[in-house]
């Protein structure tokens, strides 16, 4: 699993949209191209990037080419990210704590203000 | 959270190594440069990419610059990937099933072979 190729493949919105579309089922190249207002050579380049990352399989099906997602490389990216999960969960927990403290202070101020009126 | 910038930042081994190093604690720019045999301008470019993705904070600390990881954007990348978890888990399950079937057949063949000798 080549993390460089996988993360690089995920760094473009058209390629992420293609994977989202393929997660719903196989599609032909023209079905994959349809939602994006870009040229067919550009679509082909995106498909090559996905293929090199191992995320896409293309097979001839009569006169068209049928594409299929291979999600296995995504698990490598997922695995890399899970190691940092504790860091962002810590950060969100501290942020939530900070917001709670701020809210408490505000409520206290409001009560003081209401009392003094 | 800019998924393009985040996934792009993760697509280089030096930048992933920098994040791994920073996950262990803050570091100066030269501490981050040390494990990699590349020029300081190259290191600076990598740091800018991480910074633009919101993954790194740099602060002056006397005469040096101290870097800190911000793991929050990684949770956005993680969130995007979790949607595909069911796909790769399915795929690994089918692979395991296939291997189990193959192993069963092999054992059956071995027994037949042993019996015939």
pLDDT at A97: 86
Is pLDDT above 80 for A49?
Answer: yes
Partners of B84 on chain A (C-beta within 8 Å) are 19, 23, 71, 74
pLDDT score at A114: 83
Bridge partners (DSSP) listed for residue A68: A57
Interchain proximity B87–A80, CB inside 8 Å: no
Residues listed for chain B? 117
CA distance A106 to chain B (A): 26
**Mean pLDDT over residues B53-73, rounded?**
94
Taking CB atoms and an 8 Å cutoff, what residues of chain A touch B3?
Answer: 10-11, 13, 16
Report the predicted TM-score, pTM, of the whole model to 2 decimal places.
0.82
pLDDT for A111: 87
Whether B92 sits inside 8 A of A82 (CB atoms) is no
pLDDT at B12 over 80: yes
Which residues on chain B are in Cβ contact (under 8 Å) with A81? 74, 77-78, 81
| Percent of residues, chain B, with pLDDT higher than 70 | 99
- Whether B92 has a pLDDT exceeding 90, the answer reads no
Phi and psi for B38 in degrees, rounded to 5? -125, 165
Residue B68 pLDDT class (50, 70, 90 cuts): very high
Over residues A61-84, the mean pLDDT reads: 93
User: Across residues A77-97, what is the average pLDDT?
Assistant: 86
Kindly give the residue spans of alpha helices, DSSP state H, lying in chain A. 3-9, 13-23, 29-33, 40-52, 72-82, 85-116
ipTM over 0.85: no
Looking at the predicted structure, is the pLDDT value of residue B1 above 90?
Answer: no
pLDDT at A34 over 80: yes
Looking at residues B40-49, what average pLDDT do you find?
A: 96
Mean pLDDT on A70-82: 93
Instruction: Give yes or no for a contact between A19 and B88, defined as CB atoms under 8 angstroms apart.
Output: no
Cβ-contact A27, A56 below 8 angstroms: no
Q: Which of B7, B23, B82 sits opposite A87 (nearest CB)?
A: B23
Q: What is the pLDDT of residue A82?
A: 92
Could you tell me the pLDDT band of residue A9, with boundaries at 50, 70 and 90?
very high
Q: Is the confidence at residue B42, as pLDDT, over 80?
A: yes
């Amino acid at each position: 699993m080549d993390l460089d190729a996988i993360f690089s493949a995920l760094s473009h919105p058209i390629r992420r949209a293609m994977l989202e579309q393929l997660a719903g089922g196989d599609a032909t190249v023209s079905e994959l191209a349809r939602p994006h207002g870009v040229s067919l050579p550009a679509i082909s380049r995106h498909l090559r990037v996905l293929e090199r990352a191992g995320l896409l399989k293309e097979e001839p099906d009569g006169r068209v080419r049928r594409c299929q997602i291979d999600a296995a490389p995504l698990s490598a990216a997922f695995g890399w990210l899970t190691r940092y999960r504790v860091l962002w969960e810590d950060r969100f927990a501290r942020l939530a704590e900070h917001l709670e403290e701020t809210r408490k202070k505000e409520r206290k101020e409001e009560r003081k203000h209401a009392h003094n009126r």
